[in-house]
Structure 1
Amino acid sequence: MPGFHNGKSGLVRRVALAGTILSALGGAVRAEEGVNSLPFNLYGSPGLVDMPTAQVPPDATLAGTYAHFGGTSRTTLYFQILPRLSGTFRYSAIENFTANNGTLFDRSFDLRYQLLTETERRPSVVVGIQDFIGTGIYSGEYLVASKTVYPGLTLTGGLGWGRYGSYQPFGNMGTRPGKITNQGGLPEIDRFFRGDVAAFGGVSYSPNDRYTFKVEYSSDDYVDEVQRGTSKKSSPWNFGVDYRFKNGGQLSLYHVLGTEIGAQFTFVTNPKTLGVPGGTEPSGLPVAPRAPGSAADLGWTLDSQRSASVTASLKNLAAKEGLEVEGIDLQSNRVTVRLVNPKYGAPSQAFGRLARVMTRVMPASVEVFEIVPVVNGMAMSAVTFRRSDLERLEHDAANEMLARTNFGDGFGKAPPPDDGIYPKFTWAISPFVQLSVFDPDNPVRFDAGLRASAEYEITPNLIASGSITKKLTGNLDKVKRLDKSNLPRVRTDHARYSEEGDPAIEYLQLAHYGRPAKNVYSRVTLGYLEQMYAGASAELLWKPVNSRLALGAELNYIQRRDFDQLFGLQSMTTTDPVTGVKREIPNVNGHVSAYYAFGNGFHGQLDVGRYLAGDYGATVALDREFANGWRVGAYATFTDASFEDFGEGSFDKGIRFTMPLATFFGQPSRRRNDVLIQSLSRDGGARLNVNGRLYEQVRDYHKPDAVNSWGRFWR
């Protein structure tokens, strides 16, 4: 997984990469005071200076660090996946590390697991595997124990292998294979806990909640860095001091290796405890209780003007709450409402606000309220309340109302939209930024400019949409190296698309969404589907409203677009710029998919099928989603394309984050920012990028997801 850069790499570009990743995830996060109670080391994990500790931050802690010392820079993202399990992604730059004294850019992943929690009598014990699918530059394993012996005073001791066993080893546990692999991206299981074993340890002291002082004895001899002149070492003793800011940031200064001065910045937040987005919006209308005995009055049913007045009042009050009522079926004891929710990221908040509005305008005889949320013309669920429960439980916990709420399939239950609502036309002009990270010749590339987008809803289910971009600045088109690929060039021509596509039609499509049967959803999309491909895409999804399981299938027929990203199409034959070999991109690709909500916010997805380059395989993804809309996840794709054919990185993988914009503005919003950090954009395991895939739209209004944010029902 390394990338080699000829010539000396400036610190500015590495700082740019760190800033890109850290600001994307933490720049606007409202960090909570006190979340950063543990120190993070130069590897971006809980630790002293360079050595790990067995301290474990709270569940769901998300931390980002940027560290620099000597000729080494490290940018790290840390996530506490479960109360005892954590994962780390690291991007490093090591100067003077290549044969021609160039800079080595390296990506690595770590896992840590807490074997024992700390008690009054025993220490916390953690086992860790560092750089376990990287190139082996930072490969090492450790078993470490930490114990707080006095408030603020923590002792740590451990055993290390690999890098952690390179200084003054006292034993040996078999033969450890060489450090640097040719492939990268593969788990090096035969190296785990093999080779020399050495001891490390240290102590940290926090006299208050702002400062932590640390000293450690390191078992890492920095053999390769010293041999190549990146660093100098004269002592195993390292020293550090941390200063924590009230907003969750941490600034650290270090003296390491006996010769080097280092510094590190850390931000820490916790999406689990940030709270549900919003909070500064006005409160919803209160419930209007009925007068005793009024529920028996059905006189209004004989007055057509009264019914029309009720409909108009409901639409007007709902609009003031930011909701769109498109149709109403009003009966003597029951009303069904067709709802479009453009505002609230928590569906429960939309349900609660509309239900309270309904208590204020519906005739007293109407006891049953049925709300059918509609997305792209598709009825999602039918959420049913009893009016008497709303009146009785308004001041009780939201869970009391949930226990009396019924979720059913919305198939065939949504009233038709009223006349005059469709067609609808919306448009927007906004800035855009396209990022490419981890290019071995330039860690950060980007294009920035303006995007004009529009959507024309011909009918509720038939939607024409598109967007055009105009680049104002950027360097995605400046890739100079010839990127060899042993597969059809389905993604590695991205630099040429960036170079010639200005202005560019990002996509221009006509999509039809439907409900062909109970529990079944459909999508058919035609047009210029994405930056590189036009064609047709069809999808079916089976998803019962109360089920955690969903099954789907997608079939695509594609044609490669011209590099200028306008209206032209080109041959499906690609030519490798290095070898001159021609390869055909298949026209047909697709997948069958399974989705499952495991509980505790974990969502899994498995896609099996044919990818753009014609390779067959599967993509496994796991995301953890929180009630406030934050999401942290990872994916990996394995296909029958050999690691040699795939090229650098061995297989497609990445980590991703979803940040609801309501977190930053304090107002309800369905808008969000998705951040994907990929190792490299290669041709193997590449998938078509289609707008409007069904699962994310559908699950939002089904019971397993809606109950996660039910605490917003009365907000």
Structure 2
Amino acid sequence: MKPSLQALIAGLLLVLVPQISHAQTKTTYRQSDYGGVGLMQMPSARMNPEGELSLNYRDNDPFRRISLSMQLFPWLETTVRYTDIRYERYSIDPEFSNQTLKDKGLDVKLNLLNEGRYQPELAIGLRDLGGTGLYSGEYIVASKQLFNSADWGAIDVTAGIGWGYLGVRDNINNPLCHVDDRFCQRSRTTSGTGGQFEVDDWFRGSSALFAGVEYQTPWQPLVLQVEYDANDYSQERLSNPVDPNLTEPPVYSDSPLNWGAQYALNDHVQLNLSYQRGNTWMFGITLHADLDGAEQIKVKPRKRAVLSVPQTDEAELTQALKSELGIELSGWQIQGTTLTLYQQGEGNYRNRAEQLERATRIATHYVAEDIKRYEWVTVNQGMAINSYNVDVDEFKQIAYGARFTKPLSNTYSQSEARAWSAQQGEARTLTPDWDVTWRPSLSQSFGSAESFYFYQFAANADINITLTPRWQVNASIGMNVLNNYDQFTYRVDDYESPLPRVRTYVREYYADTDVWLSNLYSQYTAKLKNNWYGAAYAGYLERMFAGAGTSVLYRPQSSDWAFGGNLNWVKQRSFDEPLGLRDYKVWTGHLSAYWQTPWLERSLVKLDAGRFLAGDEGVKVTFEHRFESGVVAGAYAALTNVSAEDYGEGSFTKGLYLSIPFDLFSVKSSIDHAGLSWEPITRDGGQTLKRPVDLYRLTDLRQPFYLNGIK
């Protein structure tokens, strides 16, 4: 399997992110061959610190594995993995595909018990729970440190019991058979087209004990390992051999013991070497990054001292806020001793507390001392989103050090943003404006028959015309830079599915065009009343669909809950005519609920219920977690009234994504993000329209203080 562009990009990120991370002060455990903390083939009960991201490559003939493991919470480890099986073909028809078989898998591990003086750490895990089932297995495992000395090193022992692929050695009767006879039997096939959770098979069938010892040598970079493997490799699949003369899988075990060593080049790169099954050498590499603690040293203006001045200078204040914080004032009102300042956009600082402090310090230089209250109102696309209120006298007292036991955040409060009143102050006239920005983009698809990975790397020119703060016209023109879609020889014109093709035409859109119109649309946004926001849009909304739509959002100030809905009429765009349309059209829309879970800090659950692009109906569930660094990791799944057989390979739409702040790679502060996504296979069911306006994101500042970096 040739290295893909996506793997190279992920590797680059993992190399760069550690360079901007905190010094390594957390205990980071080593990754297994499958990804996830473990020994070699076997898992352990250990968990890495929250936010630990590991990119792993292992070559263990005849398998090659690439995996990405993330410690989403201190108690939850997740892993996605691709395995290249070099002795088996993807298909029996070489005209359809001539690549070797690529198997995808998803693993999770849950912490059950933390290690104590006498008790071990305990975990339960599921391997390949949503893939083809080729490597599916379950386990319960315990780990305990027996010895730790600065002079002699440390010894960590692991023991557990496995089922499925982790129980093939069958060296112990399944203890759950004593609970119910059904646990004694396990299916060796997956239901439907794969990709489902085969709950009925979990912890069933044969089982096996496994164990291992890990020795951290006194020489810190070197770790030695030995494990007893619970798999004897007697049930490997051989359906479509690469070599027609091959009658048995070239995988067998001469010994249950695996021996290994890991060498750390630094805190972020480890090399692996082991001898497994008594007949095979394995080598690999792991790259680590700390997504929770990642940060970049910033070049910032010095925080201004707090002053008291006799009169207000609006022009100087406006200039200072724009040059130092990226805040553009659009309005200015004084009522008694309260000054309300309306700012366009959110400024440059993701940390709201820091931006609010800096803005208030600047204001004391140019606002008369008889003003006792500042109201900083943020306006996004003409919508008043949020008001941060500052008690000026209290702020000055704390800043001067007169009340050094109190934080500055004690002087802040959050309230509903007041609507603009022309009778109460002057507004800057915002004339029509336009700008052009350039950005790179990566479009991709995984798991196709012709090749494991297809991509298009493009340069995009984004044009924004602001007619009024609420009314905008946007366009994006794409230009091909790198593209391997021309390798497609099979355009699946006879794709058998009862669903209309809404996303599987991706190849036709990307294969033959060097310059294209990504979108061209007009949008209008408005605050309808307190807590209510609305948007309307029309035009060429995305690469594949054009049409019109509207959305509405109810989001109370400082609430963990929000509710919304959208309704759209769209028509499929032509493959090669920039403004052309095809015959397919559909009404699509959803009712949405958003919940910032207080018991899972900085986590969002979103539920969308309605009609999807292919006319199928159902729900889409999205979960995302934001780390302290601002990196967001998310996952989604769409379940509709389309059966797994009608949907096709994968059974239902699902995927993962990362959103990474730009300022992790820059010495300048920024609120912009870059996104990476992974959808194991693209099908037509459960697909949503890429709407140009996301009201929930535009109103993020309405969330509670604890989510805005203000404590």
TM-score, L = length of structure 2: 0.89
Q: CA deviation at 1:22?
A: 4.0
1:648 aligns to 2:676 (yes or no): no
Q: CA deviation at 1:21?
A: 4.1
Q: Distance in 2 between matches of 1:82 and 1:414?
A: 46
Name the CA shift for 1:435/1:281 in 2 (closer, same or farther; >3 Å).
farther
Alignment of 1:309-348 (within 5 A): 310-321=313-324, 322-340=326-344, 341-348=346-353
Q: Distance in 1 between matches of 2:99 and 2:317?
A: 68
Deviations 1:349-372 (A, max 9, x none): 332222111111101100110010
Identify which range, 365-374 or 246-255, moves more after superposition: 246-255
Q: Distance in 2 between matches of 1:82 and 1:333?
A: 46
In structure 2, the partner of 1:3 is none
1:70 aligns to 2:61 (yes or no): yes
Alignment of 1:68-217 (within 5 A): 68-98=59-89, 100=92, 103-151=100-148, 152-172=154-174, 173=177, 174-207=184-217, 208-217=219-228
Secondary structure (helix, strand or coil) at the match of 1:96 reads strand
Q: Distance in 1 between matches of 2:426 and 2:12?
A: 43
Write the letter of the residue equivalent to 2:100: T
Alignment of 1:560-579 (within 5 A): 560-564=572-576, 566-572=578-584
In structure 1, the partner of 2:509 is 497
Alignment equivalent of 2:549, drawn from 537, 542, 560: 537
Q: Distance in 2 between matches of 1:288 and 1:501?
A: 60
Q: Structure 1: any 5+ residue segments left out of the alignment? A: 1-10, 295-299, 301-306, 573-584
Name the CA shift for 1:398/1:226 in 2 (closer, same or farther; >3 Å).
farther
Alignment equivalent of 2:531, drawn from 505, 511, 519: 519
Alignment equivalent of 2:416, drawn from 398, 409, 421: 409
Secondary structure (helix, strand or coil) at the match of 1:442 reads coil
Q: Distance in 1 between matches of 2:59 and 2:690?
A: 37
Alignment equivalent of 1:460, drawn from 469, 480, 497: 469
Q: CA deviation at 1:16?
A: 5.3
Deviations 1:191-227 (A, max 9, x none): 1111112111111111243111101110112234486
Write the letter of the residue equivalent to 1:287: V
Q: Distance in 1 between matches of 2:510 and 2:207?
A: 50
Q: Distance in 2 between matches of 1:16 and 1:693?
A: 29
Q: Distance in 2 between matches of 1:18 and 1:34?
A: 28
Q: Is the 8 A contact 1:654 1:676 kept in 2?
A: yes
Q: Distance in 2 between matches of 1:187 and 1:624?
A: 23
In structure 2, the partner of 1:50 is 41
Deviations 1:257-308 (A, max 9, x none): 1121112221222322224x66332333222246xxx7xxxxx6xxxxxx5x
Q: Distance in 2 between matches of 1:74 and 1:360?
A: 60
Q: Is the 8 A contact 2:144 2:156 kept in 1?
A: yes
Write the letter of the residue equivalent to 1:383: Y
Q: Distance in 2 between matches of 1:35 and 1:442?
A: 40
Identify which range, 684-693 or 473-482, moves more after superposition: 473-482
In structure 1, the partner of 2:181 is none
Q: CA deviation at 1:190?
A: 1.4
Q: Distance in 2 between matches of 1:381 and 1:638?
A: 35
In structure 1, the partner of 2:304 is 285
Q: CA deviation at 1:344?
A: 2.0
Q: Distance in 2 between matches of 1:63 and 1:465?
A: 38
Secondary structure (helix, strand or coil) at the match of 1:348 reads helix
Deviations 1:153-187 (A, max 9, x none): 11111111111111252214401111444421111
Alignment equivalent of 2:563, drawn from 551, 565, 575: 551
Q: CA deviation at 1:628?
A: 2.7
Alignment equivalent of 1:363, drawn from 340, 360, 368: 368
Alignment of 1:229-308 (within 5 A): 229-275=249-295, 279-289=298-308
Q: CA deviation at 1:477?
A: 4.6
Write the letter of the residue equivalent to 1:222: Y
Secondary structure (helix, strand or coil) at the match of 2:485 reads coil
In structure 2, the partner of 1:577 is none
Secondary structure (helix, strand or coil) at the match of 1:710 reads coil
Write the letter of the residue equivalent to 2:413: N
In structure 2, the partner of 1:7 is none
Q: Distance in 2 between matches of 1:487 and 1:257?
A: 46
Q: Distance in 1 between matches of 2:564 and 2:531?
A: 12
Alignment of 1:573-612 (within 5 A): 585-586=585-586, 588-599=587-598, 600-612=601-613
Q: CA deviation at 1:399?
A: 7.8
TM-score, L = length of structure 1: 0.89
Name the CA shift for 1:398/1:453 in 2 (closer, same or farther; >3 Å).
farther
In structure 1, the partner of 2:680 is 679
Q: Distance in 1 between matches of 2:15 and 2:562?
A: 33
Q: CA deviation at 1:232?
A: 4.2
Count of equivalent residues: 669
Write the letter of the residue equivalent to 1:464: V
Name the CA shift for 1:267/1:36 in 2 (closer, same or farther; >3 Å).
farther
Which of structures 1 and 2 has the larger relative contact order (alpha carbons within 8 angstroms, sep 6+)?
Answer: 1
Q: Distance in 2 between matches of 1:359 and 1:401?
A: 15
Write the letter of the residue equivalent to 1:237: L
In structure 1, the partner of 2:484 is 475
Q: Distance in 1 between matches of 2:545 and 2:15?
A: 34
Name the CA shift for 1:219/1:241 in 2 (closer, same or farther; >3 Å).
same
Q: CA deviation at 1:236?
A: 1.4
Q: CA deviation at 1:422?
A: 2.2
Name the CA shift for 1:311/1:108 in 2 (closer, same or farther; >3 Å).
same
Q: Distance in 2 between matches of 1:124 and 1:185?
A: 31
Q: Distance in 2 between matches of 1:398 and 1:691?
A: 47
Q: Distance in 2 between matches of 1:655 and 1:78?
A: 12
Write the letter of the residue equivalent to 1:392: Q
Name the CA shift for 1:53/1:288 in 2 (closer, same or farther; >3 Å).
same
Q: Is the 8 A contact 2:455 2:484 kept in 1?
A: yes
Write the letter of the residue equivalent to 2:651: S
Identity between Structure 1 and Structure 2 (%) = 28
Write the letter of the residue equivalent to 1:402: S
Q: Is the 8 A contact 2:170 2:206 kept in 1?
A: no
Q: Is the 8 A contact 2:17 2:289 kept in 1?
A: no
Write the letter of the residue equivalent to 2:466: E
Name the CA shift for 1:636/1:592 in 2 (closer, same or farther; >3 Å).
same
In structure 1, the partner of 2:230 is 219
Deviations 1:69-104 (A, max 9, x none): 102111112222322222221121111234759622
In structure 1, the partner of 2:710 is 710
Secondary structure (helix, strand or coil) at the match of 2:508 reads helix
Deviations 1:461-484 (A, max 9, x none): 111111101113302354333244
Q: Is the 8 A contact 2:272 2:283 kept in 1?
A: yes
Q: CA deviation at 1:23?
A: 3.7
Q: Distance in 2 between matches of 1:64 and 1:272?
A: 16
Deviations 1:627-681 (A, max 9, x none): 3311111111000011111111000101111110111113211111111111212
Name the CA shift for 1:414/1:129 in 2 (closer, same or farther; >3 Å).
farther
Identify which range, 218-227 or 672-681, moves more after superposition: 218-227
1:448 aligns to 2:457 (yes or no): yes
Q: CA deviation at 1:417?
A: 7.9
- What root-mean-square deviation, in Å, do the aligned CA atoms of Structure 1 and Structure 2 show? 2.3
Write the letter of the residue equivalent to 2:36: S
Alignment equivalent of 2:8, drawn from 19, 32, 37: 19
Q: Is the 8 A contact 1:468 1:506 kept in 2?
A: yes
Q: Structure 2: any 5+ residue segments left out of the alignment? A: 93-97, 149-153, 178-183, 239-247
In structure 2, the partner of 1:303 is none
